[in-house]
Amino acid sequence: MSEITYLEAIREALFEEMERDANVFCLGEDIGAYGGAFKVTEGLMAKYGEERVIDTPISEAAIIGAAAGAAHMGMRPVCEMQFIDFISTGYDMLTNYVATARYRAMLPCPMVVRGPSGGYVRGGPFHSQNPEAAFLHTPGLKIVYPATASDAKGLLKSAIRDDDCVLYFEHKYLYRRIKEEMPSGDHLTPIGKARIAREGRDVSIITYASTVWKALEAAEQVEKEDGLSVEVVDLRTLLPMDDDAITATVKKTNRVLIVHEDTRTGGVAGEITARITENAFEWLDAPILRVTAADVPLPYSPPLEDYVLPQTSDIVLALRKLAAY
Amino acid sequence: MARSGAAASSPASVTGDGARSDATSLTREQKLELYYFMRLTRSLEERLVNLYRQTKVVGGLFRSLGQEADAVGSAYALDRSKGDMLSPLIRNLGSMLVQGAKPNEIIKQYMAKGDSPTRGRELNIHYGDLERGFIGQISHLGDMVPVMAGVTLSFKMRRQNRVGLVYVGDGATSTGAFHEGINFAAVQRCPLVVIVENNGYAYSTPLRKQTAAKQLVDKAIGYGIAGEQADGNDVIATYEVTKRAVDRARSGGGVTLIELITYRRKGHAEHDNQSYVPAGEIDRWAKENDPIDRYAARLNDEGVGAPELAAIDARVQSEIDEATDEAEASPMPDPTDALVGLYADPPAVAPLWFRQGIKSAVEVHERPASWGTHDV
Ligand SMILES: Cc1ncc(C[n+]2csc(CCOP(=O)(O)OP(=O)(O)O)c2C)c(N)n1
Ligand SMILES: [Mg+2]
């Protein structure tokens, strides 16, 4: 079997799930004949037709709301946001209608909302967002954000089969930059389970999505230069959060750095920190540190964007500080 | 409901030999100014294409080729001496130039320079200037309609004699923000002109997949406002229809929705290969309905000689050369400027703990092509 990119892995998951279950259908802007702004859905309409691959008007609230309605009736819709930044125009539907449907009205919403997310691509403030924190606070939604090609495939297949709404964020910087051979067979990555991306003894980095790769880079650097052994935990799922994996790594290394690309205040790192202090405070030998984006909208010009977003050198600096504490 | 122009339900039906619009009160000098702005728009974009190919543009490049008349003619109908304002969209470089935007600003924006109008924070033509009377768009389509409803509401509340104009594409009429904004403005009888630029496509999506309405101008009926339709590739017709709407707004007649029929001859952005466009369609519009060719022919008939137009073309080129030189020589932003200006108070946010005393955390600033939308 040959290696495929993160983007191709997402596409493969869509093909396999549409083939497996006639209730699965895709809807979004320019996803059909054009194959999507990033070509994730290329070839899907040719194979499954206009009825199951729907080019919609520019109406995110309607895309998400209609998906919910169809999902109540037993369909399994997969919505594409052309850029995840536009999910904000469907925020009401997601947080008020979809997230409460099962709890309030016993109405199932087995649907997926996916889209290209994240920065490092000079996309400016509206083509670079990481919206996870805006939804982490909404009980009833699930959130996944894969960092590898095999997880991109396995998590999307699991998300489509999940009986609730899953927000599936895919990182556009990773789309064509990473490649991997897919596990054979019906490859499913469990939702709610983190992954140890690198084993280590001295310090743990808890992270997800694009910064998993920066964490690995930094881990390698401090191993070479400082002899430090760094563990990297890739959360993969943000909601529900894998407390067991977080606690296990804290108990192992007793020093924790949390890294994410999203802005700092009210971000996922704060939630992880709180959980660690609740579940494993006595295991800590140092304060928990965060490396995140600065609290500003993401600017477009390369020197500005690179200043705002977390970089490998920041992680190295933080690891050294933790190790020396 | 007033109607003018061809009652076209698809842009293809207004192609042809360029039927003449009604007479106009514009002077010869004004007519030449319209030509100047159309030429400036096109040539400036051509320069940006060169810069893009030299990888000097950061991010995507958006063209308005074939839509220069609709942008320029409509903006020209505003009265800048009265403080009229507009909010452009991605195909409205021409409107911004009419309103006072400068070529060097546009090039600096595209090159992400530190002395660009947004100091490198926002891309391409996403910027504004309250002094000159334009407000920068954000990417989220439709959002500027409610914003301009509010701008024009303030004109009304303060009894000012000012008018606002907002552009949306055919695709953006499907957004909730468009609907809520135009309805709000209609109820408040705001002095607002809403221009729907029907260029046949929203990215790859043809109009028939965007709306079941026969024509977009029909939406005016539902909002209880005036609706007009015109040939957007005829700069005089575009000017005239907008002027009527501006006059209506200024005299208390409320909102007008204008559908301008035009055609997007380039892809959504420079990387888009337009594989979804039927064969021959682009060529037909280029050959039969180029707004600048049509207008030059009209001016010619009216006695403006080719040398006079050539002189304008030459002036445009030298202005663009000068603007390019200035933009190329401009500095990139200082990284820590990223922390300035989020709030009025405090004026800057503090650097994060791991960036104390660190100006740049990377050695090279990577320049990925077009947000990763395609292979390079
Ligand atoms: C709310 C929202 N959803 C999706 C997009 C992505 N997008 C950017 S431009 C575009 C097509 C716009 O078409 P139209 O409104 O017809 O304008 P045109 O580009 O043709 O001038 C889309 C879907 C967006 N910018 N905003
Ligand atoms: Mg359009």
Q: State the SS3 of A56-72.
A: CCCCHHHHHHHHHHHHH
The one-letter code for the residue type at A190 is P
Does residue B10 have a pLDDT over 90? no
Residue B4 confidence (pLDDT): 40
Q: Do B209 and A34 touch (CB under 8 A)?
A: no
Cβ neighbours for B219, distance < 8 A, ≥ 6 positions apart: B173, B196, B213, B227, B257
Residues of A in contact with B276 (CB under 8 A): 33-34
Q: Do A172 and B372 touch (CB under 8 A)?
A: yes
The one-letter code for the residue type at A248 is A
Q: Are B155 and B177 in contact (CB under 8 A)?
A: no
Domains of chain A: 3-181 (3.40.50.970), 195-324 (3.40.50.920)
The predicted model gives B168-175 an average pLDDT of 98
Residue A1 confidence (pLDDT): 66
* Burial of B23 (C-beta count, 10 Å sphere; 0-12/13-18/19+): exposed
Q: What is the per-residue DSSP string for A42-103?
A: TTHHHHHHHHHEEEPPS-HHHHHHHHHHHHHTT-EEEEE-SSGGGGGGGHHIIIIIIHHHHH
- pLDDT category of residue B23 using cuts at 50, 70 and 90: confident
| B85 Cα–ligand 2 center, Å | 22
The predicted model gives A7-26 an average pLDDT of 98
Mutate-to-test residue for ligand 1 from A30, A31, A56, A82, highest number of ligand atoms within 8 A of CB: A82
- Compute how many other C-beta atoms are within 10 angstroms of the C-beta atom of residue B17: 9
Q: Which residues of A does the annotation mark as catalytic?
A: 127
Percent of chain B scoring above 90 in pLDDT: 88
Pocket of ligand 1 (CB under 6 A): A 29, 58, 60, 82, 86, 89; B 90-91, 139-141, 169-172, 175, 197, 199, 201-203, 264, 268
Q: Are B175 and B95 in contact (CB under 8 A)?
A: no
Residue B2 confidence (pLDDT): 42
- pLDDT category of residue B17 using cuts at 50, 70 and 90: very low
Angle between helix axes B291-301 and B68-76 (nearest 10 degrees) is: 60
Note the pLDDT tens digit of each residue in B205-229: 999 999 999 999 999 999 999 999 9
- pLDDT category of residue B18 using cuts at 50, 70 and 90: very low
Confidence (pTM): 0.95
Q: Do A29 and B205 touch (CB under 8 A)?
A: yes
Looking at the CA of residue B203, tell me the nearest atom of ligand 1. Answer: 11
Does residue A112 have a pLDDT over 80? yes
Closest by Cα among B96, B113, B80 to B45: B96
The predicted model gives A159-179 an average pLDDT of 97
| B172 Cα–ligand 1 center, Å | 6
Q: Chain B residue with minimal CA distance to A86? A: B140
Residue A322 confidence (pLDDT): 98
Residue B99 confidence (pLDDT): 98
The predicted model gives B161-175 an average pLDDT of 98
- Supply angle C-alpha A102, A104, A107, rounded to 5: 35
Q: Are B139 and A126 in contact (CB under 8 A)?
A: yes
Q: Do A30 and B203 touch (CB under 8 A)?
A: yes
* Burial of B129 (C-beta count, 10 Å sphere; 0-12/13-18/19+): middle
Q: Do B362 and A306 touch (CB under 8 A)?
A: yes
Q: Is B354 on the interface with A (CB under 8 A)?
A: yes
Looking at the CA of residue B91, tell me the nearest atom of ligand 1. Answer: 21
Note the pLDDT tens digit of each residue in B79-117: 999 999 999 999 999 999 999 999 999 999 999 999 999
Q: C-alpha distances in angstroms, A200 versus A62, A86, B139?
A: 47, 38, 43
Residue B369 confidence (pLDDT): 66
Average pLDDT, chain A: 98
Residue B370 confidence (pLDDT): 62
User: Integer distance in angstroms from the first to the last C-alpha of chain B?
Assistant: 50
- Compute how many other C-beta atoms are within 10 angstroms of the C-beta atom of residue B171: 27
Q: Is B365 on the interface with A (CB under 8 A)?
A: yes
Residue B372 confidence (pLDDT): 66
Using CA of residue B195, residue B197, residue B202, residue B203, what is the dihedral sign?
Answer: negative
Percent of chain B scoring above 70 in pLDDT: 92
Residue A107 confidence (pLDDT): 98
Cβ neighbours for A274, distance < 8 A, ≥ 6 positions apart: none
Q: Are A179 and A4 in contact (CB under 8 A)?
A: yes
Residues paired with B202 in a beta bridge: B205
Alpha-carbon distance B368 to nearest alpha carbon in chain A (angstroms): 6
Residue B366 confidence (pLDDT): 87
Residue B103 confidence (pLDDT): 98
Q: Chain B residue with minimal CA distance to A317? A: B354
Q: Do B120 and A301 touch (CB under 8 A)?
A: yes
Q: C-alpha distances in angstroms, B292 versus A134, B30, B48, B94, B311?
A: 47, 15, 19, 12, 15
Alpha-carbon distance A313 to nearest alpha carbon in chain B (angstroms): 6
Q: Is B172 on the interface with A (CB under 8 A)?
A: yes
Q: Where are the domains of chain B?
A: 28-329, 335-372
Residue B258: in which H helix or E strand, if any? strand B256-261
Does residue A55 have a pLDDT over 70? yes
Residues paired with B320 in a beta bridge: none
- pLDDT category of residue B375 using cuts at 50, 70 and 90: low
Asked if the bond preceding A116 is cis, omega within 30° of 0, the reply is no
Encode A186-244 in three state secondary structure: CCCCCCCCCEEEECCCCEEEEECCHHHHHHHHHHHHHHHHHCCCEEEEECCEEECCCHH
Counting ligands in written order, the one closest to the CA of B168 is: 1
Separation CA A233–CA A215 (nearest Å): 9
Higher pLDDT, B376 or B238: B238
Note the pLDDT tens digit of each residue in A225-265: 999 999 999 999 999 999 999 999 999 999 999 999 999 99
Cβ neighbours for A186, distance < 8 A, ≥ 6 positions apart: A16, A157
Q: Chain A residue with minimal CA distance to B120? A: A301
Residues with CB under 5 A from ligand 2 (ion): B 169-170, 199, 202
What's phi and psi for B5, nearest 5 deg? 75, 180
Fold of B28-329: Rossmann fold (3.40.50)
- Supply angle C-alpha B263, B265, B268, rounded to 5: 100
Residue B145 confidence (pLDDT): 98
Note the pLDDT tens digit of each residue in B261-296: 999 999 999 889 999 999 999 999 999 999 999 999
Residues of A in contact with B202 (CB under 8 A): 29, 58
Here the contacts of A17-24 (C-beta below 8 Å, separation 24 or greater) are A17/A76, A17/A78, A17/A156, A17/A157, A17/A160, A17/A161, A18/A44, A18/A47, A18/A48, A18/A52, A21/A76, A21/A160, A23/A74, A23/A75, A23/A76, A24/A52, A24/A75, A24/A76, A24/A77, A24/A78, A24/A160
Angle between helix axes B103-110 and B28-53 (nearest 10 degrees) is: 20
- pLDDT category of residue B130 using cuts at 50, 70 and 90: very high
Does residue A36 have a pLDDT over 80? yes
Closest by Cα among A155, A143, A212 to A182: A155
Do the bridges between strand B205-206 and strand B201-202 make them parallel or antiparallel, or are there none, so unpaired?
antiparallel
